[in-house]
Structure 1
Amino acid sequence: MMMKPRTFILLASLLGAKCILAESTLPEYMIGEYEYVSGDNYDKFLSAIGIGLFQRTLLAATSPKQTIRQVGDEIEIIVDIGIGGRIAQSNFKLGSPYVETTLKGDKIPTIATLEENKLKKVKKPDNGLEVEEVREFLDNGNTMNLYLSVIGKPEADALRVFKKKN
């Protein structure tokens, strides 16, 4: 007899096993356009990942917009930094490794997962730094907190707060 996946998860939970259900669809409240409101420690984060002073100064002065979309099981995040029409675009499927291209053209192995109200991306560039991007959705998706961290460097943790555009 073949056990259905949800039955297995329930059984595993009853036995005390911790399971994360691999979802392929974002909740509707995560989809939309978000505008930058405030932030903390962004300059230290950018410095920790190797961004030079001139670029850090420019990036810190921007009010980026983020757009999150999903078509089928492919998710797209567009970050418009508002400097000369420059955008960062990321297309991926949850739980599937992919290569993300930075604004500088670097190609970084990345994986994205959905954990409750958080969309989490873990990036492992060749320089040995592991970078984590966690988008936490609060207030039914009207607020998105973007936590940026370099694993092993807590002094570089940054927070960027965004509000959903209505």
Structure 2
Amino acid sequence: MVQFEGRFQHERSENFDEFLKAIGVPLIPRKMVVASNPVVEVRRDGDTWTIRMNTLVRTVEYVFEPGQTVETETMGGMAQNVFTIEDDKIMQTQKSDTYTTEVIRQFTEDSLIMTITHVESGIICHRYFRRL
């Protein structure tokens, strides 16, 4: 099994600005987020996982146990998140009052690839990170 835990540095994104538009992120914060190169940190303590991403605008942190619903604050308000783990992937479904996203975080020995889908519009973006 691939090691999930570690730190990952953002290298590039595809279609990220279009995705952020679809979920309603205003222009100035959107441009700041798109221009940032965040670090993602994945940790595990027993059954509890933590995924933290530091961006220019804010730090996003998810603390979860697979299959349980956790509430988080998004740029557009509160959202319900459910995470599952399968093979080399951590999958997340996030539902807010205004949108639903599906995130697949696929891990390899030296990278993390995030595939993010805005369910309502079908817009898909990819974000690529290298393991530090």
Q: Which TM-score band applies after superposition, normalised by the shorter structure?
A: over 0.9
CA apart distance, 1:105? 7.3
TM-score (normalised: structure 2): 0.93
5+ residue gaps, structure 1, are: 1-26
CA apart distance, 1:54? 0.8
**Which whole-Å deviations, capped at 9, do the CAs of 1:38-93 have from their partners, x for residues lacking one?**
11000000000000111111111100000000111110011011x27x31111000
5+ residue gaps, structure 2, are: none
Label 1:95 to 1:79 Cα distance change in 2 as closer, same or farther (>3 A).
same
Please identify the structure whose Cα radius of gyration is greater: 1
Identity over aligned pairs, percent: 23
Query: Hey, which of these two has a bigger chunk of strand by percent?
Result: 2
Aligned residues: 132
CA distance in 2, matches of 1:146, 1:105: 21
1:99 aligns with 2:71: yes
Q: Which has the higher contact order (CA 8 A, sep 6+)?
A: 2
Moved over 3 A (4+): none
Query: Hey, which of these two has a bigger chunk of helix by percent?
Result: 1
**Which whole-Å deviations, capped at 9, do the CAs of 1:9-64 have from their partners, x for residues lacking one?**
xxxxxxxxxxxxxxxxxx56110000001110000000000001111111111000
TM-score (normalised: structure 1): 0.75
CA distance in 2, matches of 1:66, 1:105: 21
Aligned to 1:158: 125
CA apart distance, 1:97? 1.2
